[in-house]
Each structure stands twice: as structure tokens, then as C-alpha cells.
């Protein structure tokens, strides 16, 4: 036995019994059950507490539209809050818990809110927690969030993997009910590449939830056979457990496939879920329809559910949802539920709002009657019916099915701003306006509610799509099915009902909607936000229309006049993990490693992320306990003898063509036309608005060949910009560009012994003496006996220095060779920190100074911007506002008291003025301890800084409590005359 409420039949596998727990109590269910069907089979119908009033709630539906049966699944790091028990597939070992209750689901202390309900109406928070204002953030909001909430997170890292994938098809069919299956069969047999996706784990839609026949077999059998036929077609991909969550531009759909949610944990190597991006030429929405409830007093007790859900539980899951059941309906479909229940032996009574309700001898029908109240503390025990005569009658029932008609699932048709249209005959919104391009709608989603019409419209939509695709349809024969007419008389809510729930998940009552109208929140968008109608995780799938109908009623309007809010993706809630995919933790983004990365690792380097690159920050030696010890040593040893630094990460762009120099004249503010072959020049690159974009060097290897460097951070944007200039602004220049950043490993060799070290590896036919290879020389050479290399005599450190580049695959070997050959000079590898210290000591600008607000003038390089030629940014850099007399200028700063620090980000103030923005004089961009000078130094921008050398000013950082005096000095702290460079 798998529960006291099990009936015969159904699509569950009684031979596979699963054990599971809910709130710590053990139960058993079957393969094929959902958590909700298994709990109902065991007689458990109290599954949650409502959001605001903590009212007892049970499942209202049997599908993804569920507002009430919201639970936490699993435990530990895999705990997932706010999942719907009605879609959670049962597996052996499932652990589920109710949420938003304390201490237990049956005895919830916060249920006291229900007694205060007259005060807790719409807008209560807005009106009540206004004063004192400061209390909101610290007291009111945390308090409200604790009381009104959903589930809780484990706060542990998610142990599962999520994938992303891409699918291409001719035709995407969304939903595998009768319409979707007919469409897939038609398109599949015509040879189209078809994807058929359905959110359920068994395909068939209402065919597996309802009784009724197709030709001479029952609907579920036909669905099973059809799915098997489709799965056998190589051109058809059938995806169950796959929800199409959004319709995006140009036939692209988002789809979440729940690969492993029905397992205790994913199989080894398998993801938990996959986010598919589906590229379709055509698509058919066959998402079916959702039954809607009727609003009446106390309509939210466990045991009250949609009539079609009762039918699904009985037919598909073989679960009786009550021993004596009433069905409250305004349409013929409610009678189908009654007929199915009666055939299963359940005592049933129908309350039909229509005076002319169909009569039958199978069950009692109360025509022209309404349900006006219900009783039962933790579940339904009895209902009060007001008969057409006006008298009331009490019915002792533990189940009440409600059927207010059906709403087509139009959601995806609205994702490109299509607006649904009101269909008077169906009393429902059907797809309307402009649909996403390539999408058509079939079956109940289009308002074709009968099985016969679902099959026909599904096939017709496929034939139309095949025509667009240039394929010939074979029109396979479809089985004969029921074609009952739609007979519904709109009935939305029982007049006078107050504690009558419209949106059960967000606890919005009919009274709240009337209040919103009374307080003039009458536009449908205002109504939604004031009352929170339709804003919960179910996005109002069962509540929106009833809410609109009540609003229309109190406003004296028709429903189409009230309008609808718009549906946006996702169709159902999506786990954040699947949106992230593999982009998390260490795989958040790709890691780029330089060729000598593993060598640096062997040296115990401490790495830092620079964009995607991993760069060695410093190389700690035994005995060094603080990073400053390592950095100071690397700086001092480089300036004393020789150091080597990996600068592979700098961007490198190869520029070739007869107009290469002319092109560089355009992209750099300074001139390149006259640069001789074999020479390198510093280049300053401006944006068109005159702000500095980047800087680097351009080495002329031949008349028509330059190698340009960019900063590490700007390698990609600079390349993009140069291609823009080349293709869009000067399309006839003979010049070609290619990024060679990853083709060359490059190392800075700096210090007075750098030449001696390089002479040991550069092949002897190349003269790199000061005469043969002077400052700013460049050339193509060979090293280590014939390996091709490039040598540049450029210096960022201010020392005699070179940069040497070899093909990437030799980078590791070159680094090891330099270390080996350098032993006699006590060569030191230095990292990014030492590089930074040396460039600050030398007064070289870097990213901190080129911060997107500074001009050449600010950098003291105003005269580099050539007036004799056209270059990007030169014209707008002349703007008066960028060239005021008191413009910021780059200066050096050193503390008056040598023990004081210079702090990056601190501001500069003239002595004796107030510390405020109006008196601000500038700010520090870079700061460090200079081991050569023995005190802290900084670079910064100071108003008219170039004329204030020697002035003592205040360095202030109110946030960190810094306030002391610094002296304005030249930015060139070390070797201001550049003698070392040229040695």
C-alpha cells in the first residue's frame, strides 16, 4: 500500500515503491508520483502556511501553476526552497519540509496574524511603518521579512553542476499535449528537424490527466504510442522535464531541462539542469490552458482545489482527494470532474452557478447555487451552499473542486510585447497583438479547448510552419476525439465575500482589491503593485484574471477595459544556478596564464588577477614574512644589478602595410611618420573626446611593419578601436592589424647588469652595446643559438632595460635560461608590485593615472598632441574646459614627516582651507613605499601642480583618518635626468 487514499488504475508504478519524509515523518509513494500526489495519497493535505496570514494551505493544482504547496526540498547544501510539491517528482529518499511556519506546520505561532487581518490589508506596510523613518531599515523591514516569508537558503555552496547548451531546429513545439503531439507528428513525418519540449515528466498534457478516448483507445495510451513514434524519428528530439521559459528575439527560446531533479543526486558527470538556447526557424506554442478558481468566502482551506486538479489526481495518480466531494462550477467542464470522480466511486455533488445546469442521475446537481462559506480548521470539513431559492444548506464534504473556466496559457505570446485579447465566448484572454516572430499558437493555448480541436489546430499550425520552411506536409490521419462545445457563464466571485482569496500565494483577498480601487490604485499596473496581486513565485497564473474581474466589477467596467499586466520571462521560476551555468567559483571566467606561469609557481610566486590574467605579484624568499620584504628586495636588487619581469600580458598588435605609419599617426596623438626603422617610440592614444585612452610603445621593425603595445587591461578595447579607425574612418589606408598578444612571450630585463645578462644569450652576430643598440632601439634578433626573438630597449623601471620577446612556446625556457645565466649577477625575478614601485619612483603613468578622466594636459604631455596632423581626439582635446589655467597636473608627493604614509585615494588640500569639495585641490592616484628613498611616495593630480613644486600641502582622507603634510615634488623621484636609461 502506498497510502490510504489510493484508487485503482493511474499512471504510477506500484511495483516501485519510494520512501520519503515530509516534516520528518516517513511516508511511501510510487514511481510516477509527485510529492503532492504521494502526500495526498497518504492523507496529508496540509502542506504549507500562507505568506502573510499564515493560513493553513494545501495544494490547489496539480501542476506548475501551484500557489500554495510550496516546500523546501532536500537538505544540506542541496536544500532548495520555494519549490512546488505539485511538480516535484518523487524519488526514493526525498526529504521535504514545509516552510514559513514556527514551531510546526500544525501549530504556527504566526497564525495570530490571521486574527489581525482587518489591519493587515493591502498597503498596510506603506501606511503603518512610515514613522519614524529611520526605523524602516533597521527594525521594520527585517521584522516584516521574518514574519512574511518563504523558504530559507542553506548558505552552503551548491554542490551540483549546471550546463548551458545550444540547440537548432526547424520547428520548436512547446507543450506535448494533443495539439503539440499532432504538430510534432505532422512535422516529424514531413522530415523537419523538430524539438518537442514539455515541462512534465510524462508527455501527453491533459490526455494523461483526463478520461476519454482517441479513436478506440484511451487518451493516455494514444499519447504514449505517439511519443514512442516521435522518439523513433531521427529528426525529432523529444525533451521531457524541459520548460521553455522565454521567447526572445529572432526565434530564440530559453529552455531549462531538469536533467537530475528527479534523482537523489545527479549521476556522476551529469549536470543537475541545463539552460538551452534554442534557435528555431518556426515555433508552435501548444502550452495548453490553466483552470481558474472562483472566489468565495474562506476558499483557501486544504481540500479545496481546482476541479481539473482533482481529476488529474484521480486519473493520473490514482489518488482520491476526498471521501465526499463537491464541485463548484460555472461551466460544463466541472461536470467532467464530477463524472470522473463518480466513476471512481467517490460521492460527489455539483454546485453549478448556472440556473440551466445540465442534469444527470449520476450525481446531485444544485443549479443556480453558490458556495458561500467553508468550515474546517486545518482542512475542509464542510461547506455552506446558498441555493437558488436563497436558503442555505450545509454539505459535509472534505473535498471541494472549483472550476471557473479555463485560461489559455498565453504567456510566451506576450514576451515580445504581444497583448492578449478578450474572447467573449470563452470568457478568457486569447493570444493577440504581435506575436514573437515565427511563433504560432495551437490547441487550448489558442482557445481551441476540445481534444478534437487541439489535434486539428496542432496539425494545421504544423502544416503552415512546414509551408514556411519549404517542406511538404503528409497530413497523417488524426484519431477521432471528443469535441464538446465550450459552455461557460462567467462567474468570478461570490458577491459580498470578504475573506475570499484571489491570490492565495500572496494572500490577496477580494477586499484588498476593492480597497485598492477605493484608494484610487485603479490602473491594472497600480493594482498589482499596491496589492501584490500576481507578484509571487507563481506570477498569478491562477489569480490574475479573477483579480481583473473583481476590479472590473467594482469599477463598473468590462474586463478588457481593465486590461492585463504583461507577462515576462521566465514562465516558471528558474534556479539561479542554471543561469550561471559553469560561470562560478574558479570557473567564473577563463583564466589566462603566461608561458612562465608554472615556472613562477615553482618559485612560490604569489599571484594576482589582472583581468583574466594571473600575474606574479611577488616572489617570497625563505625568511620573508611580509610582502613588503619581498617587494623591497626585488626593487633594490633590480636597481643594484638586474631583475626579470614577465610582461607577456601587455597587449601586442602587429601593424603592417604601406600606410602603417600613416595609420599610427591617426590613432596616436603624437607623430610616427618620421620614426626610423629600428627605433621605438612612446605613443599616447586619445579617445575622440580628448581623454587619454591608453599608452604604449610602437616599434618600427620595417618601413611597413610596426609592433604596438597596449596596457594589459586595454588590449582588447584598443584593438577594437584601431579596427574601427581602420575600417570605418579610413577604409582605404593600406594597413592590416592582428593581435599577437598570445603569440609572443615577453620579459623585461632591467638593471645596470641587464645588458651583460642578455649578451650571454643573444647570438653573437647581434650587437647590443650602447652604441650598436641605443636607448629606444628595437630589432629582430636570434637568441640561444638561432631562436628568433625581438629586442626592444625600452624601460618602465627607469633603469637600463630591455624587453625581449620570443615565440610563446619558448617563454618558459627563456625564463629558466635567464635565471640560470643571471646567477653570476644575482638576478632577481620581480613581480607586479616591484614593477609598480619602480614605475612610481620613475614617475611613469599607468592605469591609475589613465583613469578615464584625464587628458594629455593633466599628464604634462599636452605638447605631445600634434597640431600638425589629424589624430583621434586632437580636436576635442583643445576644448577650453580641458585646458584651464588651474587644470590638474601630475606631480610627485612625499611626506614632510618621513614616517607618514602617502595614501592612494586621499585628497590634497591647501593648508588653512576647509576640508570640503569646494576647496579640493586634487588627489593621489598611486602610492608606495620607496625602498630606494626610504619613505613613502605618491603620484597625484594637483591643480596647477606644475607651478607648485616645493609647496607644503595637506593630504587628507577623512574616511581613514589621514591628515598630514606632504611636499609637492617632481614625479621623477629616481634618476630625473634619465642617465641610467641611456647607460
Partner 1 sequence: MIINHPILGPRDAAEFVYKGDASLINRPDWQADDAAERFHEYGYLRDNSAGLHRELWFHEQGDRSWLVVTRDTTTHEITKVELARDVARAEGRSR
Q: Which residues bind partner 1 (CB under 8 A)?
A: 248-252, 279, 416, 434, 437, 659, 662, 688-689, 716, 720, 723-724, 727-733, 870, 874-876, 878-879
Q: How far apart, in whole angstroms, are the C-alpha atoms of residue 172 and residue 277?
A: 12
Helix (H) or strand (E) holding 445: none
Q: How far is CA 80 from CA 71, 154, 271, 856, in A?
A: 8, 8, 16, 55
CB of 498 to partner 1, least distance (A): 44
CB atoms within 10 A of CB 937: 25
- Whether omega for the bond prior to residue 256 falls within 30 degrees of 0, making it cis, is no
Name the phi and psi angles at 889, rounded to 5. -130, 145
Q: Is the dihedral of CA 158, 160, 165, 171 positive or negative?
A: negative
Per the CB < 8 A criterion, the answer to whether 329 and 307 are in contact is yes
Minimum CB–partner distance for residue 49 and partner 1 (Å): 43
Measure the CA–CA gap between 830 and 748, rounded to whole angstroms. Answer: 10
CA–CA separation, 292 and 311 (whole Å): 14
Whose Cβ is closer to partner 1: residue 388's or residue 416's?
A: 416
End-to-end CA distance of the chain: 94
Provide, rounded to whole angstroms, the least separation between the CB of residue 563 and partner 1.
20
Nearer to partner 1, 816 or 879 (CB): 879
Rg of the chain over Cα atoms, rounded to whole angstroms, equals 37
Closest by CA to 406, choosing from 426, 425, 421, 424, is 426
Q: What letter does residue 493 receive in the DSSP assignment?
A: B
Cβ proximity to partner 1: between 519 and 878 the closer is 878
**CB-wise, 555 or 738, nearer to partner 1?**
738
Task: Report, in Å, the least distance between residue 872 CB and partner 1.
Answer: 9
DSSP 788: E
Which DSSP string corresponds to 83-107? EETTTPBP-TTEEEE--S-SB-SSS
Q: Give the residue among 916, 912, 937 at the shortest CA–CA distance from 926.
A: 937
Separation between Cα atoms, residue 453 and residue 647, nearest integer Å: 69
For the chain, helix, strand, coil in percent to 5 are 25, 30, 45
User: Minimum CB separation from partner 1 for residue 523, in Å?
Assistant: 22
Q: With beta carbons less than 8 A apart as the criterion, state whether 423 and 447 touch.
A: yes
CA-based nearest residue to 844, from 636, 668, 697: 697
**Whole-Å CA distances, 511 to 532, 537, 782, 912:** 13, 22, 86, 65
Least separation in angstroms between CB 857 and partner 1: 16
CB of 731 to partner 1, least distance (A): 5
CB of 718 vs partner 1, minimal distance in Å? 13
- Closest to partner 1 by CB, 163 vs 900, is 163
Going from the C-alpha of 383 to that of each of 311, 334, 480, 509, 792, the distances in angstroms are 20, 17, 40, 19, 91
For every residue of 253-313, DSSP letters joined together read EEEEE-SSTTSSSPPTT--SEEEEEEEEEEEEE---EEE---B-TTTTSTTEEEHHHHHHH
Closer of 246 and 251 to partner 1 (Cβ): 251
C-alpha cell at 945: 601642480
The smaller minimum CB distance to partner 1, of residues 32 and 251, is found at 251
**Dihedral sign, Cα of residue 520, residue 524, residue 525, residue 530:** positive
User: Cβ of residue 433: shortest distance to partner 1, in angstroms?
Assistant: 12
Nearer to partner 1, 728 or 918 (CB): 728
CA 967, CA 969: separation in Å to the nearest integer?
6
Nearer to partner 1, 77 or 729 (CB): 729
CB of 492 to partner 1, least distance (A): 35
Rounded Cα distance, 188 and 176, in Å:
14
Residue 386 or 665: the one with the smaller Cβ distance to partner 1 is: 665
In terms of residues, how long is the chain? 983
Q: How far is the CB of 708 from partner 1 (least distance, A)?
A: 16
CB of residue 706 vs partner 1: minimum separation in angstroms? 18
Residue whose CB is less far from partner 1, 139 or 729? 729
Q: In whole angstroms, how close is the CB of 686 to partner 1 at the nearest point? A: 12
| CB neighbour list of residue 134: distance below 8 Å, 6 or more residues apart | none
Using the minimum distance from each CB to partner 1, give the nearer residue, 167 or 442. Answer: 167
- Do the beta carbons of residue 433 and residue 419 sit within 8 Å? yes
- Minimum CB separation from partner 1 for residue 870, in Å? 4
Q: How far apart are CA 526 and CA 532, in angstroms?
A: 9
CB of 696: closest distance to partner 1 in angstroms? 20
Residues 881, 979: Cα–Cα separation, whole Å: 37
Question: Which one, 727 or 960, has the nearer CB to partner 1?
Answer: 727
Q: Phi first, then psi: give them for residue 162, nearest 5 degrees.
A: -130, 145
429 φ/ψ angles, rounded to the nearest 5 degrees:
-80, 135
Q: Which of 768, 749, 664, 673 is nearest to 709 (CA)?
A: 664
Three-state secondary structure string covering 816-831: HHHHHHHHHHCCEECC
Nearest distance in Å: CB 702, partner 1: 21
Cβ atoms within 10 Å, residue 586:
6
Residue closer to partner 1 by CB (options 868, 959) is 868
Closer of 425 and 437 to partner 1 (Cβ): 437
CB of 255 to partner 1, least distance (A): 16
Q: Find residue 4's DSSP bridge partners.
A: none
Closer to partner 1 by Cβ: residue 416 or 629: 416
**How are strands ordered across the β-sheet holding 651-656?**
680-686, 692-702, 705-710, 651-656, 736-739
Residue nearer to partner 1 on the CB measure, 248 or 929: 248
Name the residue nearer to partner 1 (CB basis): 438 or 443: 438
Q: How far is the CB of 727 from partner 1 (least distance, A)?
A: 5
Amino acid at each position: 500500500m502506498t497510502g490510504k487514499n489510493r484508487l485503482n488504475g493511474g499512471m504510477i508504478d506500484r511495483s516501485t515503491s519510494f520512501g520519503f519524509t515530509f516534516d520528518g515523518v516517513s511516508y511511501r509513494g510510487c514511481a510516477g508520483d509527485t510529492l503532492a500526489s504521494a502526500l495526498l495519497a497518504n492523507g496529508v493535505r496540509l502542506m504549507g502556511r500562507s505568506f502573510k496570514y499564515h493560513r493553513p494551505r494545501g495544494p490547489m493544482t496539480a501542476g506548475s501553476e501551484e500557489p500554495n504547496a510550496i516546500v523546501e526540498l532536500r537538505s544540506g547544501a542541496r536544500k532548495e526552497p520555494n519549490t512546488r510539491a505539485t511538480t516535484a517528482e518523487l524519488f526514493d529518499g526525498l526529504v521535504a519540509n514545509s516552510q514559513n511556519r514556527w514551531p510546526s506546520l500544525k501549530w504556527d505561532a504566526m497564525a495570530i496574524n490571521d486574527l489581525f487581518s482587518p489591519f493587515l490589508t493591502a498597503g498596510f506596510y506603506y501606511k503603518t511603518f512610515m514613522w519614524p523613518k529611520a526605523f524602516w531599515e533597521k527594525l521594520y523591514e527585517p521584522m516584516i521579512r521574518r514574519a512574511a516569508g518563504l523558504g530559507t537558503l542553506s548558505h552552503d555552496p551548491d554542490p551540483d553542476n549546471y550546463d548551458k547548451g545550444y540547440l537548432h531546429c526547424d520547428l520548436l513545439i512547446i507543450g506535448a499535449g494533443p495539439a503539440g503531439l499532432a504538430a510534432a507528428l505532422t512535422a516529424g513525418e514531413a522530415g523537419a528537424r523538430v524539438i518537442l519540449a514539455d515541462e512534465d515528466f510524462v508527455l501527453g498534457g491533459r490526455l494523461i490527466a483526463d478520461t476519454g478516448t482517441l479513436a478506440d483507445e484511451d487518451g493516455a495510451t494514444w499519447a504514449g504510442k505517439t511519443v514512442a513514434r516521435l522518439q523513433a524519428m531521427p529528426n525529432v528530439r523529444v525533451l521531457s522535464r524541459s520548460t521553455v521559459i522565454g521567447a526572445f528575439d529572432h526565434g530564440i527560446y530559453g529552455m531549462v531541462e531538469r536533467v537530475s531533479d528527479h534523482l537523489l543526486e545527479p549521476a556522476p558527470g551529469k549536470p543537475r539542469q541545463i539552460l538551452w538556447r534554442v534557435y528555431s526557424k518556426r515555433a508552435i506554442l501548444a502550452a495548453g490552458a490553466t483552470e481558474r478558481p472562483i472566489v468565495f468566502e474562506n476558499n483557501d482551506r486544504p481540500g479545496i482545489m481546482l476541479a481539473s486538479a482533482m481529476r488529474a489526481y484521480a486519473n493520473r495518480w490514482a489518488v482520491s482527494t476526498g471521501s465526499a466531494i463537491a464541485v463548484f462550477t460555472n461551466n460544463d467542464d466541472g461536470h467532467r470532474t464530477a463524472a470522473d470522480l463518480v466513476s471512481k466511486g467517490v460521492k460527489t455533488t455539483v454546485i453549478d452557478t448556472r440556473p440551466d445546469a445540465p442534469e444527470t442521475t449520476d450525481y446531485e446537481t444544485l443549479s443556480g447555487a453558490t458556495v458561500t462559506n467553508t468550515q474546517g480548521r486545518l482542512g475542509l470539513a464542510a461547506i455552506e451552499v446558498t441555493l437558488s431559492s436563497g436558503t442555505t444548506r450545509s454539505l459535509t464534504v472534505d473535498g471541494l473542486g472549483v472550476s471557473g473556466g479555463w485560461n489559455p496559457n498565453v504567456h510566451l505570446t506576450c514576451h515580445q510585447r504581444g497583448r492578449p485579447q478578450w474572447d467573449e465566448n470563452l470568457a478568457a484572454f486569447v493570444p493577440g497583438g504581435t506575436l514573437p516572430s515565427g511563433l504560432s499558437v495551437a490547441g487550448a493555448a489558442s482557445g481551441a479547448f476540445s481534444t478534437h480541436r487541439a489535434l486539428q489546430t496542432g496539425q494545421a499550425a504544423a502544416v503552415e510552419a512546414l509551408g514556411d520552411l519549404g517542406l511538404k506536409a503528409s497530413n497523417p490521419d488524426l484519431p477521432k476525439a471528443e469535441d464538446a462545445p465550450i459552455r461557460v457563464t462567467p462567474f468570478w466571485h461570490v458577491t459580498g465575500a470578504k475573506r475570499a482569496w484571489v491570490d492565495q500565494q500572496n494572500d490577496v483577498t477580494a477586499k484588498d482589491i476593492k480597497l485598492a480601487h477605493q484608494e484610487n490604485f485603479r490602473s491594472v499596473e497600480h493594482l498589482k503593485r499596491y496589492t501584490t496581486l500576481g507578484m509571487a513565485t507563481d506570477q498569478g497564473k491562477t489569480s490574475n484574471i479573477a483579480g481583473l474581474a473583481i476590479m472590473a466589477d467594482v469599477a463598473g467596467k468590462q474586463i478588457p477595459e481593465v486590461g492585463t499586466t504583461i507577462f515576462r520571462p521566465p514562465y516558471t521560476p528558474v534556479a539561479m544556478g542554471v543561469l550561471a551555468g559553469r560561470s562560478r567559483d574558479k570557473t567564473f571566467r577563463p583564466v589566462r596564464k603566461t608561458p612562465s606561469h608554472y615556472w613562477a609557481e615553482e618559485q612560490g610566486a604569489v599571484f594576482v588577477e589582472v583581468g583574466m590574467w594571473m600575474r606574479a605579484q611577488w616572489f617570497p624568499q625563505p625568511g620573508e614574512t611580509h610582502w613588503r620584504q619581498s617587494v623591497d628586495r626585488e626593487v633594490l636588487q633590480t636597481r643594484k644589478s638586474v631583475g626579470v619581469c614577465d610582461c607577456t600580458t601587455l597587449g601586442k598588435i602587429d601593424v603592417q602595410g604601406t600606410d602603417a605609419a600613416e595609420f599610427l599617426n591617426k590613432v596616436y596623438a603624437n607623430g610616427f611618420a618620421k620614426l626610423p626603422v629600428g627605433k621605438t617610440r612612446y605613443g599616447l592614444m586619445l579617445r575622440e573626446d580628448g581623454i587619454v585612452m591608453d599608452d604604449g610603445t610602437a616599434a618600427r621593425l620595417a618601413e611597413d611593419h610596426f609592433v604596438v603595445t597596449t596596457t594589459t587591461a586595454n588590449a582588447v578595447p584598443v584593438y577594437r578601436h584601431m579596427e574601427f579607425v581602420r575600417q570605418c574612418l579610413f577604409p582605404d589606408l593600406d594597413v592590416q592589424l592582428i593581435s599577437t598578444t598570445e603569440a609572443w612571450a615577453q620579459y623585461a630585463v632591467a638593471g645596470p647588469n641587464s645588458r651583460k645578462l642578455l649578451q650571454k644569450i643573444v647570438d653573437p652576430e647581434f650587437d647590443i652595446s650602447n652604441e650598436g643598440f641605443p636607448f629606444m632601439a628595437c630589432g629582430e634578433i636570434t637568441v640561444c643559438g638561432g631562436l628568433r626573438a625581438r629586442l626592444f630597449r625600452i624601460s618602465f623601471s627607469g633603469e637600463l632595460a630591455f624587453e625581449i620577446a620570443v615565440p610563446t612556446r619558448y617563454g618558459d625556457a627563456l625564463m629558466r635560461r635567464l635565471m640560470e645565466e643571471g646567477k653570476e649577477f644575482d638576478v632577481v625575478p620581480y613581480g607586479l608590485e616591484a614593477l609598480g614601485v619602480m614605475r612610481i619612483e620613475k614617475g611613469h603613468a599607468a592605469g591609475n593615472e589613465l583613469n578615464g578622466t584625464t587628458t594629455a594636459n593633466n599628464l604634462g604631455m599636452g605638447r605631445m598632441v600634434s597640431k600638425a596632423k589629424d589624430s583621434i581626439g586632437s580636436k576635442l582635446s583643445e576644448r577650453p574646459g580641458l585646458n584651464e589655467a588651474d587644470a590638474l597636473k601630475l606631480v610627485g608627493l612625499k611626506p614632510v614627516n618621513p614616517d607618514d604614509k602617502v595614501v592612494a585615494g586621499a585628497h590634497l588640500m591647501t593648508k588653512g582651507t576647509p576640508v570640503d569639495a569646494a576647496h579640493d585641490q586634487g588627489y593621489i592616484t598611486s602610492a608606495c613605499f620607496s625602498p630606494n628613498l626610504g619613505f613613502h611616495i605618491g603620484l597625484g593630480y594637483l591643480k596647477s601642480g606644475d607651478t607648485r613644486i616645493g609647496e607644503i600641502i595637506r593630504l587628507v582622507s577623512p574616511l581613514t583618518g589621514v591628515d598630514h603634510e606632504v611636499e609637492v615634488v617632481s614625479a621623477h623621484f629616481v634618476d630625473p635626468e634619465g642617465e641610467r636609461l641611456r647607460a
